[in-house]
Structure 1
Amino acid sequence: MSVKELLINKLDLMSENELEKVLKLLQIFGLADHRKSSQSKSYSLRGLPIEYIDPLEPVAISDWDVLG
């Protein structure tokens, strides 16, 4: 029996509540992203590389708009 068949058999035995938990877990790990099309509109920069330039450099008080 293949891994796919074993997984399907296990899923068939699960309750609806358990299946929802499994789906949420898969989505957390990015393995079941059925919402990708709607999220891509809202978060157009998601997934792009990020570059931090001097991330540990102290911030000057003058840089904070709230305090000025």
Structure 2
Amino acid sequence: MDLNLRKAIKSNVSGNSADQLEATIVDAIQSGEEKMLPGLGVLFELYWQNASEADKDEVLNALEQAVK
């Protein structure tokens, strides 16, 4: 079986509004289920690919503080 997880996740969220994406993210975090991590990873990857250098720096600084 050829499963492209990235493609499937992108397809599932394609066309979602900001509110729907937020609900997906919040639900994934609140559920605490390991199976949700790939979806969050794909969303982060999409964000990263489209972020400006300033946005990336802001995220990296926030992550640095979060992991201290």
Q: TM-score, normalised by structure 2?
A: 0.39
Larger relative contact order, structure 1 or 2 (CA cutoff 8 Å, min sep 6): 2
Q: TM-score, normalised by structure 1?
A: 0.39
* Bigger Rg, structure 1 or 2: 1
